[in-house]
Chain A
């Protein structure tokens, strides 16, 4: 009985002390803490936004080859660090699990893709290009001379069966090379979404 009485007292004491010291609002100390920046130690590489034609500069922070963060490039005089939602979201493309991992092939009539190697893909494309080019090539055609009205045969070197749709979303060098590629293989049928 004595023991329990003593323990009761003890507990009461502790509770009392706690109340005495702890009651009332504890105003949080407003102290500046050391906030670590996740960008520390990152390499900064600039790039250009992939959407509208603004040409806004993006700044990619890279650590150990990994993209840590992407935001507007404050030194680009066009956007001065600003980015619209589309551009600001672009870091989600870097490691998107939805990006196809390797070339894919869909056979005639097939219901799904199958993965193929780059070598196989390029081989198939090149062979098909040659096949179609050979089958649909127009070396010369007859035209009416607008001035004289005479019929004449002209060299046109056209691969009629091949069309190329380029893109306004790839780099200049790529656009240029695509234009060159199309015309070299013989197709003037080369367009892209600038028309849209």
Chain B
């Protein structure tokens, strides 16, 4: 598969049923967690090593009109994934279809990806020392099936297809939705190198608790593009200097002792 894929999350169609949450657990054989209600109908407000997608609800009462917004959260599968950049052991890779995957054989659970994802999606199982997140159902996708969440979505809020075609669908839908929701926007089209999960939000990202402009952390760029490739050279340089000195001192010493009749430098 070579074309980039995309899941279009149309929150104007989502009814917040959490079907995607359960389908994800079922396909990926993830155990249930013991939860409590946190707020409203929310019993999960972040991903965990065994919860790769969850639903959030946002209430906004404005001018006598209620807005009950909802969206599912999961790995965005960025075009320019910070997690992949942060991974020190090369366990994270990206497929041509756009999926960002953690190779569990290589993952050491260091959590660098966890700290550097702008949405904090990957989560480390501290007992297994492995980090987990949504795989985009890569095994289904690569075998011609839709991701489990998309496949189960009753209200049709999730659509899956080639990225270009999906973006066209998303933009057309946005035009329509803007008539009733002027603040509606597409979230993810150009963020983080273009995400694989692109949302049609009915309100500004902040209303959904999302960063408006998620970026690869500058600390990560500094770290991975400057410090690690160049800064590290200081150490071998120091080593080389030491080796150089080791020989030069002895050579000079030998030369001077010849000229000064074997007298040592006298330190």
> For residue A113, which residues in chain B have a CB less than 8 angstroms away from its CB?
none
Interface of B is mostly: helix
CB < 8 Å neighbour of B27 from A20, A28, A69, A89 = A69
Q: Which of B61-69, B169-177, B199-207, B231-239 contacts A (4 or more CB under 8 A)?
A: B231-239
CB under 8 Å from chain B, chain A span 6-41: 9, 12, 15-16, 19-20, 23-26, 28-33, 35-38
**Count of chain B residues with a beta carbon within 8 Å of a chain A beta carbon:** 44
Whether the pair B151, A81 counts as a contact (CB closer than 8 A) is yes
Q: Interface readout for A66-96 with B: 1 if CB under 8 Å, 0 if not?
A: 0001111010000101111101110100000
CB < 8 Å neighbour of A83 from B21, B154, B232, B233 = B154
CB under 8 Å from chain A, chain B span 208-239: 224-225, 228-230, 232-233, 235-236, 239
Kindly name the residue among A15, A20, A28 whose own CB sees the greatest number of chain B CB atoms within 10 A.
Answer: A28
Q: How far is the CA of A126 from the CA of B10 in the complex (A)?
A: 57
Q: How far is the CA of A23 from the CA of B26 in the complex (A)?
A: 41
In the assembled complex, B143 has its CB within 8 A of some CB on chain A: yes
Whether the pair B243, A25 counts as a contact (CB closer than 8 A) is no
Interface of A is mostly: loop
> For residue B253, which residues in chain A have a CB less than 8 angstroms away from its CB?
none
Whether the pair B26, A88 counts as a contact (CB closer than 8 A) is yes
CB < 8 Å neighbour of B22 from A32, A37, A74, A89 = A89
CB < 8 Å neighbour of B233 from A19, A26, A31, A38 = A19
CB < 8 Å neighbour of A32 from B96, B140, B153, B240 = B96
Q: Which residue of B lies closest to A36 (CB)?
A: B139
Q: Which of B87-95, B122-130, B186-194, B255-263 contacts A (4 or more CB under 8 A)?
A: B87-95
> For residue A15, which residues in chain B have a CB less than 8 angstroms away from its CB?
235-236, 239
Whether the pair B139, A35 counts as a contact (CB closer than 8 A) is yes
CB < 8 Å neighbour of B228 from A16, A23, A85, A88 = A23
> For residue B94, which residues in chain A have a CB less than 8 angstroms away from its CB?
28, 30
Whether the pair A82, B153 counts as a contact (CB closer than 8 A) is yes
Q: How far is the CA of A160 from the CA of B17 in the complex (A)?
A: 45
B73 to chain A, nearest CB (A): 16
Kindly name the residue among B95, B138, B240 whose own CB sees the greatest number of chain A CB atoms within 10 A.
Answer: B95
- Given A23-B232, A25-B229, residue A85 in contact with residue B27 (CB < 8 A): no
Q: Beyond A19-B235, A84-B17, list 11 extra A-B contacts (CB 8 Å).
A: A12-B243, A15-B236, A25-B225, A26-B90, A28-B84, A29-B93, A35-B138, A79-B154, A82-B153, A83-B19, A89-B26
Name A's B-contacting residues (CB within 8 A): 9, 12, 15-16, 19-20, 23-26, 28-33, 35-38, 69-72, 74, 79, 81-85, 87-89, 91
Closest 9 CB pairs of A and B: A28-B93, A24-B229, A35-B139, A82-B154, A85-B22, A88-B22, A35-B142, A88-B23, A37-B143
Pairs across A and B, CB under 8 Å, 17 listed: A15-B235, A23-B229, A23-B230, A23-B233, A28-B92, A28-B94, A32-B1, A32-B96, A32-B97, A35-B138, A37-B139, A74-B151, A79-B154, A85-B19, A88-B23, A88-B152, A91-B26
